[in-house]
Amino acid sequence: MPILSFTLRTATGQNLQKLSFNARLKNLPIVSVGLGLLISRAVTVSDGLKQRVVTAIILLIALIALTLFTRPFIFAAVVAVIVALAAWEWAAFVGIEGIALRGSYTLALFVMLMAAASISGFSGSADTSISYQVVLILGLGLLWWCIAAFLLIGYPENSAAWNNKFKISLMGLLALVPTWTGLVALKYALPSGYLVLGVVIMVAGVDIGAYFVGRFLGARPLAPRLSPNKTWEGVLGGLVTCCAVSALLLLGAHRYLFELRPPQVSILLLSCAITTLFAVVGDLLESMLKRNSNLKDSGSALPGHGGILDRIDALLAVTPSSVIIMMLTLDQVH
């Protein structure tokens, strides 16, 4: 039984605005490339940073193409591949070595994704509803991330608890499966991809704000035993940036997609605090797992950035809570 459905505005003028908005979105990849080239030429940077920028531009183009210009079924399949690659990297945290064993762990993840798809009622075509089964899967993921937050507080005194292979294996499944389910559910609910892109942009806002504010204004360490470079000032910067980005996203959604009432806007803006909190938890959790495994990066799939998990650690932690809040808040959109 669906708990969330979207009906877009049908007034002629608003439809024209929406078409114009979509046309401008199609130019985003071109704009991204142009900005990247201008920045790379205008700024003298090291080869490592240039590689990082080039990879970031490619990822941005791929993200826009995947979220906005693919059908829900294709989106689900591609994200499943990305999540499977992340599971392959997670196996290193567990201490699983060898292609056969890592492949077995990745296969187990695929089986769980198929089960989640079946339980959630995802079909081959777009469905403008999100079921209670999706909420249950997301709730399980949210519960895990709440437990992870408390466990991180006790590190490194409780480090022995993080060395159990079965526990770390289960953690990976609880982190990856709900994320896939939540993102795919949003894509099916609104096939244009705006909701999915909104979640990703919010997480990116936290990361960018935290990085720059922490780098230039950071003074008080957040978790020196886990990640010495993270500061409380950086967290505040991430929160402010997340709120600013969310305000712009909500303004665009209200103008072009569906009507938002003041209480809904207020709840979604206040949820930025939860988004920031879980983004930090996801980042710290991966830092802890890498520290326990004596790894600098989770992998090498993304030149200049490390592995898949190095880029989606915050998204993994944020998705369950963000999607649940969106579903409950937008339930009355007509």
For residues 224 and 257, is the Cβ–Cβ distance under 8 A?
no
Per-residue pLDDT at 46: 53
Q: Which amino acid is at 79?
A: V
Residue 18 token pair = 């929406």
What is the pLDDT tens value at each position of the chain, 334 positions in all?
444 444 444 333 444 344 344 444 455 444 444 444 444 444 444 566 677 778 778 888 888 899 889 899 999 999 999 999 999 999 888 888 888 888 899 999 999 998 888 887 776 554 545 678 888 999 999 999 999 998 888 877 777 777 788 888 999 999 999 999 999 999 988 888 999 999 999 999 999 999 899 989 888 998 888 888 889 999 999 999 999 999 999 998 888 887 888 888 899 999 999 999 999 999 999 888 888 878 777 776 776 667 899 889 999 999 999 999 988 887 633 3
Per-residue pLDDT at 295: 79
Spatial separation of the C-alpha atoms in residues 127 and 149, rounded to whole Å: 34
DSSP labels, 240-268 = HHHHHHHHHHHHHHHHHT----HHHHHHH
Spatial separation of the C-alpha atoms in residues 36 and 52, rounded to whole Å: 11
Q: Residue for token digits 């710290």?
A: 284
DSSP labels, 169-218 = HHHHHHHHHHHHHHHHHHHHHSTT-HHHHHHHHHHHHHHHHHHHHHHHH-
For residues 316 and 176, is the Cβ–Cβ distance under 8 A?
yes
For residues 325 and 1, is the Cβ–Cβ distance under 8 A?
no
List the Cα angle 178/182/185 in 5-degree steps.
135
Residue 262 token pair = 């003041």
